[in-house]
Amino acid sequence: MDIITNIDEMQQRCLAARAQGKRLAFVPTMGYLHEGHLSLLRAARDAGDILVLSIFVNPTQFGVGEDFDSYPRDLDRDAEMACSVGTDWLFAPRASAMYPKGYATWVDVEGLTGNLCGASRPGHFRGVTTVVCKLFGIVQPHVAFFGQKDFQQLAVIRRMSADLNLPVEVRGLPIVREADGLAMSSRNVNLSPAQRRQALALFAGIRLAAAQVAAGERDSRRVLAAVRERIQQEPEATVDYIQICHDETLTDLETIDRHALLLLAVRVGTTRLIDNHHLGEEIPES
Ligand code: PAF
């Protein structure tokens, strides 16, 4: 596996590979890899001739007072894990090269970014879509893989790719959970043991909501109230949002139907965790 930090070198390699008829599969990440990332890398390994992983903690998607500085980083550890699943090229650019002096171009997706994380983290998705668009321009992938834990991010990136006619197939893969149900996230490492236990409230809330829907409940407000009550039992948990939204438009749903998606963002201590679950999966079309 080669580690490339230079943007021009990365782009030249990718263009040359494409010219030779090679199919490029790409997994963009912010590093501190876990089993969720590895599931993306394994799928990408099967989907292309050359597997490219990027690791870049993108400063422009973090707001003032957010966890850019404390976001976990360990390139040596990541390189070992990436190599173990057959990554060919690990791209790790420097922030000063991605955003040089005079940088002035931003990609902003409207509509889908107005709710959920877009509302609670102003400017976040502008940073995400800008960096993903840049990475797509550098790596020129045929196919790119993202996790469904960041459900809104995936929807926004799909919208961007369609709207800008980017020749990249965007694929989303299911959430990977720890054995006890906690959704895997690089940020989990920042939880103390007590917070790690409290973080299970997100999955407990999801299970509670799914059980209510399975028992016939269709009123979003009642389900949301029950989930909120469960999560607020944890002393260090602060709800950022708990919402039930339409899985395509990401607007709030009053009545749970087959499009209903439960999405949560909860701070446990200072660590912000997100999770989601498709409540409508079992509901037949009415
Ligand atoms: O999901 C992430 O890790 C990041 O938001 C991404 C897509 C790599 C952009 O920085």
Q: What amino acid is encoded at 43 in this protein?
A: A
Ligand 1 neighbour 58 (Cβ under 6 A): yes
The rounded Å distance from CA 57 to ligand 1 centre is: 8
Confidence of residue 286 (pLDDT cuts 50, 70, 90): low
Ligand 1 atom closest to the Cα of residue 56 is: 10
Residue 233: how many other CB atoms lie within 10 Å: 10
Tens-place pLDDT, residues 11-42: 999 999 999 999 999 999 999 999 999 999 99
Q: Does domain 2-173 have CATH number 3.40.50.620?
A: yes
The rounded Å distance from CA 216 to ligand 1 centre is: 36
Question: Considering the chain, what percentage of its residues have pLDDT values greater than 90?
Answer: 98
235, 199 Cβ separation under 8 angstroms:
no
- pLDDT at residue 198, rounded to an integer: 98
Ligand 1 neighbour 150 (Cβ under 6 A): yes
Token pair, residue 22, equals 């090679």
Tens-place pLDDT, residues 110-149: 999 999 999 999 999 999 999 999 999 999 999 999 999 9
133, 74 Cβ separation under 8 angstroms:
no
Q: What is the pTM of this model?
A: 0.97
DSSP 122: T
Q: Which of 189, 195, 152 is nearest to 172 (CA)?
A: 152
Residue partners of 229: CB distance under 8 A and separation at least 6: none
> Which residue of 26, 27, 29 sits with most ligand 1 atoms within 8 Å of its CB, as the best mutation to test the pocket?
29
The rounded Å distance from CA 118 to ligand 1 centre is: 14
Token pair, residue 262, equals 């439960």
Instruction: Tell me what the pLDDT averaged over the chain comes to.
Output: 97
Gyration radius of the chain's alpha carbons: 19
Say how far apart CA 76 and CA 269 lie, in whole Å.
28
- Sheet strands side by side (includes 237-246): 237-246, 260-268, 271-278
CATH 3.30.1300.10 in the chain, residue ranges: 186-275
Token pair, residue 204, equals 């407990």
- pLDDT at residue 182, rounded to an integer: 98
CATH class of the domain whose range is 186-275: alpha beta
Residue partners of 19: CB distance under 8 A and separation at least 6: none
Ligand 1 neighbour 129 (Cβ under 6 A): no
CATH 3.40.50.620 in the chain, residue ranges: 2-173
Q: Which of 46, 43, 41, 73 is nearest to 57 (CA)?
A: 73
Active site residues: 37
CA atoms within 13 A on the CB side of 82: 28
Q: What are phi and psi of 262, to 5 degrees?
A: -90, 125
DSSP 99: S
